[in-house]
Structure 1
């Protein structure tokens, strides 16, 4: 059992002892843990921005020290990641246009659609996420698929093979959140490291007949220099969010001064806003003295200041020279300036991520029509389509591993049909049912044969459950019509 929320640090991810690592794997295991340690702080920082737990970066110039504890969270990084992930919807597999019942059952048992959604979000945050495929234990699917974030695994890239050469995952932790089980994937073997109650590590080795690590990585924005991808949360976005957090805090400070404008009193006596120190009394001359008779100065009272500030009527006596103190108020600053600066932050973030302002929670009046509003999503949709093409290759390789592990055969011995598996995706533009119906009605005018097929209903936006109900109703109605036709024929034959 793993904890609901685990911290990932050098202390929580201890290395297995050298004595527990087989000699031929020591170098690669050492490289994996060294690489893991190198990227750990970076991944933790990216997670903080996504989880909205990044700290305010104060410039130390204009923000009062007492205001630094104000909650000024800005969740734009999470919105940018979720805006892409929600449009990338994995919809199962097909073989040359046909579905396979056995693979569909494994997809459903592993909840692969949900796992993909989680892995997709993690790859957007850290640049990479991982799937592993292993034989299921008793009560589990024949092939068990698991997903891991970059906090939970590390891998080394094999440039010649064009995929990872090996990888290791944290498979379980103890009650204190420290790793007690690792699973390392190599082309020739799978190693399982377990830490016992005494703290000693043990290792079990299992041969891998697949000829490749049973791990596949989901990568966002890879290139030739960084094949394991980049995070969507770039330094540019982090800088914009840092500035937006300071602007939110400045808005809070400005709102305080706007609600309670600063006032001033010229020529007021000191005792107007002060009280005698504790334990002091007033002598016959009007001075405050302590228990030993020493004259002490009055102490400023915040309570008296606030009562004077909020009082409906403020009565001030003349001073000792007979002059009346002058009371005035400083003009409060306008909140419009803060609002415009914050909107500018949102516009910069929107331009950097292709996420429309409205999806960042900042309303804008720049859209003049529904068409313009829809066009604002076009860059985001194009980016998701590109991401789906890259992720499709990964999900197809995951499917081949699932079929190989479930069938107990190497991937190379799968049939040509199994190797041709294709990943399906829902339309990232997410059109309404009416828009779908309009488009597919026009297609049906050119080809009537597609009307009533499963593809027709899927593209109209109906769920698989509703399509199954429709197909069942059609079969039932077809059977009734056939029985009525037979009965009619029998009646006509009896009449003759």
Structure 2
């Protein structure tokens, strides 16, 4: 059995061709693949930095060639992307404050919370990621949502509509990692392009009544000149990581010299450092042997003494003039210099990405209070809130497409309440439950009506499962209390005197 290659970042993307592709779409498909090929090398480079597989950039000055294979990985790019993605937590959809059970079922069936997080990481890494909505088949949800990284899709931007005018996604690769099936999204049709065993491409065209491509793009840091965004891994970030990798290598070399300082011998006999005869090597028994293992000559005693000295022991003989050689060792460089340089790299990286130093694994700052610690996270939180505002518009459009596809209608065919869908996000500051409880307790003191509602418990930070259990127990307790009151009221049934009246007479 042949294992299928699933690394889409390394997939080969052959251009589909054939008479079966409708002529009116061929020009745009060619434009899409030209765009895809143009950015593929850049996307692979960004993926390498995210996956900590970037190659060391040697300046050719101080690092010996035989040390370039030392592992000097710096994982800051991944930490920066994940630090933002983990704070951008999608929490479902609401309609004017209320939830829709049908849409919630689609969200759960498509695992959209996890799907969004993956798409968010890809958008931060490459600048853009895609989400598509398609009609589900047998055993699938009514609307199937899929996410694609920049390795798996390409699109053309429509500046007037402010969305993708068309796009192509990679659906399947063969066992060699070569693309086998694409799906092309157009405003009026969806094309399924598949490569057969004879390497010929076939095309299946399906009408798209939505009037827009069933694709939305999540974009990081867009602007008017680059509406498809920028990667969080900017040229500045790449340069800092390249330098940090060299500094890690220098730290490794410096640590070796600090542990085993370089030594010197002045006035030693040449025989102490004589090279083995040509084509020979030194064996464990102290002999020079040839390539066949035959003994050529014994190793000179002076050479053995020199090796013993360089290892640990002082055992040096007088030279031919009867003089003792002068021996010593060079003072090793301080490791503090390397540490300070590496911390400076981390500080530059933190300034470029808004990720606090502590989250990069560099504990160079001592926070004097919780306020100081919170202030260190403020730039990152503000950046995530800004990103959520942009992504919220995209996810709301995805929700409208989900409801339209599931209902067999268009977005314009949805009722007004459904078209006004909103996205719920978790607090990007990620406060502790005690901090949440303190804040919402103060809100509850000023407005007693919110205490005990689902919004109140969500604000405190309880999970939906716990909130459901609390609400169920409250309903159960309310029912029991109501039944008890009815029973109390019926206690005076045999005399026809209400229980409340009997109590009043007893008090008199």
TM class, shorter-chain normalised? over 0.9
Contact between 2:8 and 2:152, CA under 8 Å: does it hold in 1? no
Q: Structure 1 length normalisation: TM-score?
A: 0.93
Distance 1:323 1:2, change over 3 A: closer
> Is the partner of 1:20 in helix, strand or coil?
coil
Of stretches 390-399 and 194-203 in structure 1, the one that deviates more from structure 2 is 194-203
Indicate the residue corresponding to 2:10 in structure 1.
Answer: 8
Contact between 2:123 and 2:220, CA under 8 Å: does it hold in 1? yes
C-alpha separation in 2, matches of 1:297 and 1:157: 77
Distance 1:476 1:370, change over 3 A: same
Of stretches 208-217 and 409-418 in structure 1, the one that deviates more from structure 2 is 409-418
Contact between 1:95 and 1:420, CA under 8 Å: does it hold in 2? yes
C-alpha separation in 2, matches of 1:302 and 1:238: 48
C-alpha separation in 1, matches of 2:405 and 2:302: 77
Indicate the residue corresponding to 2:267 in structure 1.
Answer: 267
Indicate the residue corresponding to 2:152 in structure 1.
Answer: 152
Distance 1:375 1:318, change over 3 A: same
> Is the partner of 1:411 in helix, strand or coil?
coil
Indicate the residue corresponding to 1:283 in structure 2.
Answer: none
- 1:86-101 equivalences under 5 Å are 86-101=86-101
CA positional deviation for 1:492: 2.8
Distance 1:279 1:359, change over 3 A: closer
Indicate the residue corresponding to 1:241 in structure 2.
Answer: 241
- 1:26-425 equivalences under 5 Å are 26-274=26-274, 277=277, 306-311=307-312, 313-425=313-425
C-alpha separation in 2, matches of 1:211 and 1:170: 22
Kindly provide the CA deviation profile for residues 63-95 of structure 1, in whole angstroms up to 9, marking residues without a partner as x: 111110000000011111111000000000001
Contact between 1:274 and 1:304, CA under 8 Å: does it hold in 2? no
CA positional deviation for 1:158: 0.6
C-alpha separation in 2, matches of 1:83 and 1:301: 60
CA positional deviation for 1:442: 1.1
> Is the partner of 2:341 in helix, strand or coil?
helix
C-alpha separation in 2, matches of 1:108 and 1:303: 73
Contact between 1:7 and 1:177, CA under 8 Å: does it hold in 2? no
Q: Structure 2 length normalisation: TM-score?
A: 0.91
Contact between 1:18 and 1:26, CA under 8 Å: does it hold in 2? no
Of stretches 19-28 and 117-126 in structure 1, the one that deviates more from structure 2 is 19-28
Contact between 1:191 and 1:206, CA under 8 Å: does it hold in 2? yes
CA positional deviation for 1:470: 0.4
C-alpha separation in 1, matches of 2:465 and 2:492: 41
C-alpha separation in 1, matches of 2:162 and 2:25: 21
CA positional deviation for 1:190: 0.3
Distance 1:324 1:393, change over 3 A: same
Contact between 1:154 and 1:167, CA under 8 Å: does it hold in 2? yes
C-alpha separation in 1, matches of 2:252 and 2:304: 23
Indicate the residue corresponding to 2:283 in structure 1.
Answer: none
Indicate the residue corresponding to 1:17 in structure 2.
Answer: 17
Contact between 2:143 and 2:405, CA under 8 Å: does it hold in 1? yes
C-alpha separation in 1, matches of 2:359 and 2:477: 46
CA positional deviation for 1:3: 3.9
CA positional deviation for 1:314: 1.6
Contact between 1:275 and 1:299, CA under 8 Å: does it hold in 2? no
> Is the partner of 1:458 in helix, strand or coil?
helix
Residues matched between the structures, number: 482
Contact between 2:308 and 2:315, CA under 8 Å: does it hold in 1? no
The runs of 5 or more residues in structure 1 that have no matched partner are: 281-287
- 1:411-490 equivalences under 5 Å are 411-490=411-490
C-alpha separation in 2, matches of 1:66 and 1:301: 29
> Is the partner of 2:137 in helix, strand or coil?
coil
> Is the partner of 1:412 in helix, strand or coil?
coil
Distance 1:299 1:63, change over 3 A: farther
CA positional deviation for 1:365: 2.9
